[in-house]
Amino acid sequence: MAVTINAHQLGLLIDKTIGHIGGEYTVPLNGIRLDVDAAFLYAVASDRYTLAVARYRLLHDDQNGQPFARLIPAEYLQSLREWISSQAGSTYISISAEDHYLEFGGTHTELRIGVNPDLEYPDWRGLLRTMTQRDTEDAPFPALSADFMSRWAATGDNLRVRVTADQKAVLVFGEDFIGAQMPVRYAGVGPMKDETFDAVRQQWEQTLAAGADGLDMATDMPAEDDWPRYEVTKDVYETGGDLLQQVLRSNVDLHNAGGTSSPEFLAHATAGVHAWMAYRFLDALHTADPRFARTIVAEVAEQLDSGEIGEWAWDAAKEAGHNPQQWHDEYEAHLNKRAAEKAVAAEAAA
């Protein structure tokens, strides 16, 4: 089946959802899913914690084809967005789904993206259907500006929200933080400018009716795959846990090492000591400045993932006024001396 949408609208679908895609270790969510039914083209994205759906009403000629759904992998989204931007906004783009690729056709160029047709995606219709069917009688339904909501990201906190009434401010609470956001006067949604929750829910009733009942994002989203051992978390809490786990593991390994002078014993002792030092430093930094601690943990994770920590350490030593070349030479001399002593010992034993 092929559907058509103008370039401007297709770009909007991607822009509205791309910030919600999951990470590479949750493969079914690592991208934007294009989902077509009899009336709409949907762009769907989720990272297990947020779920975003944007839709575009199809032209009448497109409404007689067969539905399809494919996940556009995250690695192709930038090139797709750039290709869309190269088209005039009013240009109609055709989207067709084959077994293992999506084809986007413009006026003069085409773009093919490889996809996995067998990839299972969460029942997003069912998840949202369950949420919209919960009792909402007399519940406030204020309209909040998305531009204003983004300002709360600077707190860096997990925020609690208290909705009081439609035309009253929404309260926001964080760690040592309180705030409020006024609703906007324009509260309409959709072409009829509906202002009540029931009216807005009816706009999506036909779409969500195809979903299952009783689903919950807490239990019905794909589980995250195991991270490779070299992957470094950017989360302060997880980083602290990893460091403490390393300390405890090193203590166990110390007892299994072959004597206090063995290389294994020294390696485990060094790993445990340094992990404990790193944890104490991180804990102190997070207590003094949680935002800066998150920044440092994220930067260190990227440096470790790059595999170039030797270069980072060399440059840092020089910037701090040390002489890394001297350290290198002294350590090489130490290793050569140990090698010579082992050789002499081996000859004497022979």
110 and 96 Cβ atoms separated by less than 8 Å: no
pLDDT score of 59? 79
**Which pair of structure tokens corresponds to residue 26?**
């949750």
User: Residue 53 pairs with which residues in a beta bridge?
Assistant: 44
pLDDT of residue 1: 66
pLDDT at 230: 53
Q: Is the pLDDT of residue 115 over 80?
A: yes
Domains in the chain: boundaries: 2-121, 142-186, 236-349
Fold observed for domain 2-121: DNA Polymerase III; Chain A, domain 2 (3.10.150)
Q: Quickly list DSSP for 299-338.
A: HHHHHHHHT-HHHHHHHHHHHTT--HHHHHHHHHHHHHHH
pLDDT at 189: 62
For residue range 306-318, list pLDDT tens digits in order. 778 888 888 888 9
**C-alpha–C-alpha distance, residues 248 and 28, integer Å:** 35
- Is 306 exposed, middle or buried, given 0-12, 13-18 or 19+ CB atoms closer than 10 A? exposed
pLDDT value at position 41?
A: 95
For residue 245 the two structure tokens come to 């786990």
Instruction: Please name the amino acid found at residue 112.
Output: R
User: Residues near 39 by Cβ (< 8 Å), separated by ≥ 6?
Assistant: 57, 58, 63, 206, 207
The closest of 15, 7, 3, 12 to 89, measured between CA atoms, is 7
Q: So what's the pLDDT on residue 35?
A: 95
pLDDT mean over 133-153: 82
Instruction: Write the CA distances from 253 to 264, 268, 277, integer angstroms.
Output: 9, 6, 18
pLDDT tens-digit readout, 144-192: 888 888 888 888 778 899 988 878 899 999 877 899 999 887 556 655 4
Tokens representing residue 278 in the block: 């790193």
Query: In this predicted model, what pLDDT tens digit does every residue of 185-228 receive, in sequence order?
Result: 755 665 545 577 888 888 898 899 999 999 999 899 988 776 55
